[in-house]
A and B are shown apart, each in its own frame.
Chain A
Amino acid sequence: MRWLALVFPQLQLDSVCPVTEQVQNPDATTGAVVVIDGGQQVCQLNAQAMAAGIRPGMKLGTASALNRDVSFVQHDPGFERARALELAEICYQVSANIAFLEPDALIFEVSGMLKLYGCFKHYWRDLQQVLAAQTLHYKAALGHSPLAACVLARAGFCSVPLEQQFAQEGWLMPALDALQVGQLDITPRQQAQLERLGLSRLGHVRSLLQKSKGRKELAQRLGRELLDYLDQVLGHHIRPLDYFRPEDVFRQSILLEHELHTSQSLLFPVKNLLQHMQAYLQRRACRVQHLRLLLSGREGDTQVIALSGAEPERASEVWLSLLQLKLESVQLSAPVTAVRLEALKLLEEHVCTQDIFEPVRASSPSQLLGRLQARLGDEALKCVHLQGDHRPEHAFRYSALPKYGELKEGYADDSHYSKCSLSLRPSLLFEVPVPLSEGIRIVHGPERIQSGWWSDTPVCRDYFVARNTEQQTLWVFRDAQRHWFVHGLFA
């Protein structure tokens, strides 16, 4: 008994009107909600609608004739898929191997989890607790193959509690045998095919399939596809499943009750999102380095605020303080009605160590850089690298984003350059040389630098160290036209 199936027959309805409401006043005729599919037929309905006499499969007109106040919701498969994905994500805390079999059904592999839980009872109890928080209708059944469990669950085979189902296996085959072919997940044409052969129940099919001659005959009449399906239901062979793996992203959005006009008032709703994210990351033992905040306006326009920390971080307070700094410089383009938080890249946690005897509790350099970056922007923060070029302007390069971890990797190159370019250079270099306009005395030089003829900025200069009347030590040069310029200061 390896497989447990959970079928959610009215996933969309449960999201539209909560189960609690349905349970509290099942007799009230008001508040009837039905979900209609593409063919304008009722496919999901709540207890109130049921009480009004509406049945699944009815036409939209019939339903509204039975109850004027019934409200309609268009069936949205995309929404149901997203919701099922969400449910899988939630159940993933309890159970490891989860697969989607049909859009509204989840398959759990039980036998693997028994090593952890000891017995099925405990496993099922935990799963029920998780599902109870979601307030939705579901049907559950066990089976010896994924499809069998799914079919049994859909048929509503709940006469035996799951714990007993798990303990004894004897009930399974009679239950499967008793299934009408109409309860299987097959097309009406295939169903008619089976019924025309006089096979109205699954038991009939099974007894035929057990004989090799019967099997051959069935294969000829029904086709490979249907036979394959029936084999899977009966557990003759089991196709490997694609197990659900949670995505390595965090996405959550909230709809705001009121429109927000100032960026600072966003902090409160975002705080909630960040706390959810923290809990999510805690479960995954992950951190994030980049966050995106998408602010949607009434007109559907979206403003994106990107937030980057210098170090992967998960604490909501840290992100909130970064956001606070960021929001100081952000103007809202339109009033905000919905906020969405996205962390598209989760990073594995790595623990950093600190000296136990260090009296000053230093925060990590990356945290410092993160704060500075958030407030000042990338332009104000630079780190410097040496480059192998004789032209003074090109002998070094400022790079915008000093990432602490990456800098260490580049270390070897820099030291190599620094060893070979330890010539006489000023510590302060002007970006644009200033024409020399005062009397100087040459102290050292000349040093001719002629390079870069292959590039846009060729250089042919004689450099001197000089002192002016104010005793500043200047780095001056004379170009090919014999004009003099000051290029730096030996501070």
Chain B
Amino acid sequence: MPHPPPLTTLQSLKEQQLIWQGRRLSEQKPACLASGYAAFDHALSGGWPASGLVELTPVHLGIGELRLLLPVVTELAGTRPLQAWVGAPACLTPHNLSVTSLERCLLIWPKRQQMHWVLEQLLASACCSTVVCWMDELSLAQARRLQVIAKESGTLVFVIRQQPDVSQSLPVSLRLHLGVVDNGLKVVVLKRQNGWPVAPFEVDLSDRFPQLIERKRREIVARQPDNVLSFPVCREPRGE
């Protein structure tokens, strides 16, 4: 539809950047979001990307992949009315989801063929601060589409894939392989948009979740010297 003349003038002024618009204020979002783990932020020069798809491929489920996400998910929870968890492999317990904002959590278990549609709706609505989804099937075309919508709506999407097709290279913002080390995760960056290749690095999860980390017995004893009570012995009365 052709614009009427006055609008064209406005348009040209806008193109010459002679008009300042208030909505640019919120466009100046940080390019990166702090992950809450110093090693991670340092290696990826700032942390998670602000929007788009992040593909995580842990060697097995249950090695601490959600623990890696929780700080950023909790941090972002306040920015938008909802956060979505799609297709979890078991019951998601609320204790670890996001303590401050349970009423924002939306848990969805769609059928396999509906998964893509659900994700598109979640992203297009721009209501979700983060979307975490577990899915194995993701084609190149689907990933590209989701990536575009996620970027447009400024949503951060974590896709956790158990059996990824290694040869497939999806158009995602960040692709990480997660392995296990004694006190946390070993992160291999397989793909990173707008950045140099990064050598594999380790993330220490023990500070935030100390009970879940296996320690050598000696270390435990060394750290907790005071929890052994000495057997009470009879003392002589004072002052004599």
Contacts and interface: CB of A to CB of B under 8 A. Distances in A.
B212 A473 contact: yes
Interface in A302-348: none
Nearest to A409: B103
B74 interface: no
B92 A360 contact: no
B212 A418 contact: no
Interface of B: 22-23, 25-27, 59-67, 80-82, 88-97, 99-100, 102-103, 105-111, 114, 117-118, 121-122, 124-127, 152-154, 180, 209, 211-214
Contacts of B107: 381-384, 398
Nearest to A382: B107
Contacts of A491: 61-67
A226 to B, nearest CB: 67
Interface of A: 356-365, 367-369, 371-372, 375-376, 379-386, 392, 395-396, 398, 402, 404, 407-408, 410-411, 414-415, 418, 421-431, 441, 443-444, 465, 467, 470-474, 488-491
A485 to B, nearest CB: 14
A357 B214 contact: no
Contacts of B126: 360-363
A424 B102 contact: no
Nearest to A411: B103
B152 to A, nearest CB: 7
B62 A428 contact: yes
Nearest to A424: B211
Chain B, interface SS category: mixed
A365 B64 CA distance: 30
B105 A474 contact: no
A382 B99 contact: no
A462 to B, nearest CB: 15
Contact of A427 (B22, B82, B93, B214): B93
Given A363-B126, A368-B121, A380 B26 contact: no
Contact of B108 (A367, A381, A443): A381
19 contacts: A356-B23, A359-B27, A376-B108, A380-B108, A382-B109, A383-B103, A384-B105, A418-B102, A424-B211, A427-B93, A428-B93, A429-B90, A441-B214, A444-B212, A465-B211, A467-B214, A472-B60, A490-B209, A491-B61
A358 B23 contact: yes
A422 B103 CA distance: 17
Nearest to B179: A471
B92 A384 contact: yes
A472 B62 contact: yes
Contact of B93 (A363, A382, A425): A425
Given A395-B93, A444-B211, A465-B211, A357 B105 contact: no
A402 to B, nearest CB: 6
A423 B94 CA distance: 12
A428 B214 contact: no
A443 B211 contact: yes
Q: Which 5 A-B pairs have the closest CB atoms?
A: A489-B62, A471-B180, A472-B62, A362-B126, A491-B66
Given A372-B118, A381-B107, A427-B67, 16 more contacts: A357-B25, A367-B125, A368-B121, A368-B122, A372-B121, A376-B118, A383-B105, A396-B93, A396-B95, A421-B95, A422-B95, A428-B88, A441-B214, A470-B59, A470-B60, A490-B62
